[in-house]
Amino acid sequence: MTLPLIVYRSLRQHALSTLITAGSIALACGLLMTVWVVKTQAQAAFVSTSTAFDAVLGARGSKLQLVLNGIFHLEASPGNLAASDYELIRKHPAVKTAIPIAVGDNLRGYRIVGTVPQLLTNVEYAPGKKYAVAPGGKVFGEAAREAVVGSFAAERLGLKVGSTFQPFHGLTFDEKALHEEVFTVTGILTPTNTPADKVIWVPIKGVQTMSGHDPKAATDVSAVLIQLRAASAGVMLDLMINKQGNRMTFAYPVGAIMADFFGKISWFDRVLALVAYLVALVAAGSVLASIYNSMSARQRDLAILRALGARRRTIFGAVVAEAAGIGALGAAVGFAIYFGLLTLVAEVIRAQTGVVLDVTEGHAVLWICPLAMTALCALGGAVPAVKAYRTPVAETLAPVS
């Protein structure tokens, strides 16, 4: 009863500084956990999203740009491929599946991607998972002005089966760039938690022959998504297309390109983590300063406790436990900040990329960070605890008579 009571009463007596200090710790803890989880989950989500296809073939340019454009529906296409190039790769014996896509239009900022129905009927976007149209809908016809809308885009745009829309030209929304063609929604995709959820899928011919598009490019494609029969074929195609050729780029393997991308932007994680570490250090320092500064006011209480029989180590332990208590309180509130921030960041990532982060998924940092922060605060409390330990009882209680 003794130690918890002393700690509780001391925290109550210094409620304002306790709350302010715990608040800064909560911020540090929340930031640290969010940075870590977002980094880990985003990386895992992006890499797992890219497992459906082994490679992306496109115009000569950046492999990363091809992958971002073809798989994640970000970035612009580096250029077009001729229909003959698509046919060449489609018929290559090492290629199991070749899905062409054509981009260049949007509906109020949501990308319209032209493709073949086989993407939505045959391809597994993740192991054992195929796209599915929600009941009451169907996949678009190959030559019809029809569309299947990703779940997120449908929700945001208020589209349902039977809705009609006119596309806007370009990848960014410009209300003056309205196309004449009217498309009818024939199906809504069930959620996949992948970038496909924020795409409006139409027949590839629908994009290729859209009014205002260059008639000379009416059979061109933006990229080809490729599944290989064997991994060794990727090395061979890489050699053939990238090293010996100069017209096209074969982005392979997709997972390694994404991992390389995350490696390149890892400095950003490190900066964020560094900021969070600094906030944590400042928070631990503020625990030290807050308790240390109040030591003069506390010394009389500590001397009374000593006069009542409390040993020096009890007093030392009480101050350290108080510091740890502030740390633990901060860490607990840090979870609220973490969930709030993560939910916000996950929503932004979902809106921007279609990739969904699981806010309920556990991670080692969720227990390491609160424990480390509590331990750091306890360490910070050791300094004033030494001062408390040294409190001279008789001199503090009363002047010598």
Partner 1 sequence: MLSVADLTKSFVSPEGGRAEIVRVGRFELAAGEQRALRGESGSGKTTFLNLIAGILAADGGRVELDGIDLAALPEAKRDRLRADKIGYIFQTFNLLQGYTVLENVLLGMSFGPRGVDRVHAVELLRRVGLEHRLGHFPRQLSTGQQQRVAVARALANRPKLVLADEPTGNLDRTSAREALALIREVCRENGAALLLVSHDDGVLAQFEGLQDFAVINAAARRGPGAVPADGKEGGS
| Residues at the site binding partner 1, with contacts judged by CB under 8 A | 1-2, 5-6, 9-10, 12-13, 300-301, 304-314, 393-394, 397-398, 400-401
Shortest gap between Cβ of 311 and partner 1 (angstroms)? Answer: 5
Max distance between CA atoms of the chain, in angstroms, equals 106
Rounded to 5 degrees, φ, ψ at 114 are: -85, 135
Tell me which residue of 130, 59, 133, 137 sits closest to 101, measured CA to CA: 59
Rounded to whole angstroms, how far apart are CA atoms 111 and 217? 19
Cβ closest to partner 1, residue 108 vs residue 311: 311
Smaller CB distance to partner 1: residue 108 or 313? Answer: 313
Taking the least distance from each CB to partner 1, the nearer of 344 and 386 is: 386
CB of 399 to partner 1, least distance (A): 8
User: Which CB, 160 or 312, lies closer to partner 1?
Assistant: 312
What are the two backbone dihedrals, phi and then psi, of residue 188, each rounded to the nearest 5 degrees?
-115, 130
**Residue 161 CB partners (closer than 8 Å, separation 6+):** 136, 137, 185, 186, 187, 188
Min separation Cβ 16 and partner 1, Å:
14
Give least dist CB 264 to partner 1, A.
55
CB of 10 to partner 1, least distance (A): 7
Q: Give the residue with the Cβ less far from partner 1, 43 or 391.
A: 391
Q: Between 156 and 312, whose beta carbon lies closer to partner 1?
A: 312
Q: Which is nearer to partner 1, 10 or 286 (CB)?
A: 10
Give the shortest CB-287-to-partner 1 separation in angstroms. 19
Nearer Cβ to partner 1, position 52 or 305? Answer: 305
Cα-based distances in Å from 371 to 20, 33, 367, 382: 20, 12, 6, 17
CB of 398 to partner 1, least distance (A): 6
CB of 2 vs partner 1, minimal distance in Å: 4
Among residues 247 and 390, whose Cβ is nearest to partner 1? 390
Cβ atoms of 121 and 192 closer than 8 Å: no
Q: At what angle do helices 15-49 and 266-293 cross, to 10 degrees?
A: 170
Nearest approach, Cβ of 378 to partner 1 (angstroms)? 22
Cα 231 to chain centroid distance, Å, stands at 29
Q: How far is CA 314 from CA 287, 291, 378, 396, in A?
A: 20, 17, 15, 18
What tokens were used for 4? 């918890």
- Taking the C-alpha atoms of residue 195 and residue 235, their distance in angstroms, rounded to an integer, is 27
DSSP state string for 81-143: B-HHHHHHHHT-TTEEEEEEEEEEEEETTEEEEEE-THHHHT-EEETTEE--BPTT--PPPTT
Q: Identify the burial level of 373 via C-beta atoms within 10 angstroms of its C-beta, where 0-12 means exposed, 13-18 middle and 19 or more buried.
A: buried
